[in-house]
Amino acid sequence: MSSPAPHLLIVEDDTGLQSQLRWCFDGYRVLIAGTRAEALAHVRKHRPSVVTLDLGLPPDPGGVTEGLATLNDIRMLAPETKIIVVTGNDERTNAVNAIGLGAYDFYLKPIDAGTLRLVVDRAQALFNLEAENRLFQEKNQPGTPFANLITSSDNVLSLCREVEKVADTDAKVLLIGETGTGKELFARALHDLSRRTEARFVAVNCAAIPEQLLESELFGYEKGAFTGANRQTPGKIERADGGTFFLDEIGDLPLALQPKLLRFLQERVIERVGGREEIPVDVRIVSATHQDLQALAAQGRFREDLYYRLGEVVLQLPPLRERPGDAIVLAQAFLKRYNAHFSKSHRGFTPDALNAIDQYPWPGNVREIDGTVKKAVVMADGPVISAKDLGLQQDASETPTLSLTLREVRKQAETTAIRKAIAQADGNLSQAANLLGITRPTLYKLLEKYELKPNESQSQ
Ligand SMILES: Nc1ncnc2c1ncn2[C@@H]1O[C@H](COP(=O)(O)OP(=O)(O)OP(=O)(O)O)[C@@H](O)[C@H]1O
């Protein structure tokens, strides 16, 4: 059974606009309110996911006091609701102030139903993502292995299910993913969900330890094994006995050490450096890498047999750019976390910040978004965090609104297509128009509109 349509509350005192808007939102259960009291009654009863709120409400239809008071009340009653403030075109400052008070976005009149619908849909999408994450967090209360995991991505949620399934087996798990995608977090969850949870979780980063030291770090050494070996020292594998041993950046394990690790995986015994004794160790092995181990194996830099031993179960962590919506959900959650941590009270992000967070590719993944939001929470002066505060945009005032963004997108797409077509047609505009499926006069109009010169188009 599909879930019921979400509630959208339209707070608007103009009866003409009320009836116009009522029919614009297929797929929503539309509620209409003309006053603060009516709006709050709907919010209490239906907890709408999105509200469009006209700031000019009676008894102050020419001002914004009643509208802002309504915004505040809705925020108190339903903090998860996304409020889009609708206001006159000459009242941009009020709209921006409303964002400071916790509105999600603003929309400047005159109303174009199609564009407003886009803004509402975007707010609804964010509401859905946050709701999914809230559900996930409720299920994973503090102290549980996924308590710190923030996500609303189906990919990541299904990885959590896989982790739950394999955690209590001793299967060796190989976690593959770019830096900052949460490999260590998942490795710890595997440990915490296993019967080994009372014993140690010991991690070694193969890339961080010089090659000469890595063997003794992993396997330990006997007194006198080398200069400076003043006493017998167990290695990290031994210290993890009974627990989980996490080999991070396994792709950096020197070739010379790989046979020794392979032998341990096969026989479950280690020999300390300089020792003869075989010491049995019972650990569960989890490893991780950001590298393509099969490609390394093909180049002779990683033993194929070791790869297959380590990867009895392979879990692939998707980068943030392949988890639609997760960047925003993470940013909101980190904002809450660092507000509490640093006793700050930033209300949220400006629309341009949300846009930028969504668009930026986050090569450092979750770690990067965590650090970026943390810094912005500490440094930002205003009540809300802008793209500029996040270091994602030069000047927040230059931010395009959604309609401008769409225009920009269209301009870019059309310009690129025209350039390609002219190049392909070798400068012949009739042929280029044919390729584009438009008439020659339309092509001329577009060239004029985008100030493109046919020759210049060809060269780019
Ligand atoms: N989904 C998530 N929700 C909340 N925090 C996360 C999430 N994923 C990762 N983190 C946090 O991001 C940081 C980086 O995660 P982690 O160290 O697990 O990544 P990694 O893939 O092991 O990175 P590297 O390969 O660079 O060691 C940690 O502080 C971790 O707690």
List, for residues 259-288, the tens digit of each pLDDT value: 999 999 999 999 999 988 999 999 999 999
Measure Cα distances from 6 to 30, 295, 445 in Å.
9, 47, 43
**Helix, coil or strand: residue 234:** strand
ipTM (interface pTM): 0.98
Residue 399's nearest CA partner among 92, 102, 110 is: 92
Query: Which pLDDT value is given to residue 342?
Result: 94
Query: Which pLDDT value is given to residue 457?
Result: 45
Query: Which pLDDT value is given to residue 199?
Result: 96
Neighbours of 395 (CB within 10 A): 10
Residue nearest to atom 31 of ligand 1 (CA): 185
Measured distance CA(293)–CA(99) in Å, rounded: 48
Contact status, residue 246 vs residue 290, Cβ threshold 8 Å: no
pLDDT at position 289 over 70 = yes
**What is the Cα 402 distance to its own chain's centre?**
21
| Residue to mutate, 181, 249, 374, ligand 1, most ligand atoms under 8 Å from C-beta | 181
List, for residues 364-419, the tens digit of each pLDDT value: 999 999 999 999 999 999 889 999 999 997 444 444 444 445 566 677 777 777 88
Measured distance CA(256)–CA(253) in Å, rounded: 8
**What is the Cα 252 distance to its own chain's centre?**
28
Q: How many Å lie between the centroid of ligand 1 and the Cα of residue 17? A: 48
pLDDT at position 194 over 90 = yes
Q: How many Å lie between the centroid of ligand 1 and the Cα of residue 189? A: 12
Q: Report the pLDDT averaged over residues 66-81.
A: 94
| Residue to mutate, 366, 368, 372, ligand 1, most ligand atoms under 8 Å from C-beta | 366
Measured distance CA(33)–CA(13) in Å, rounded: 7
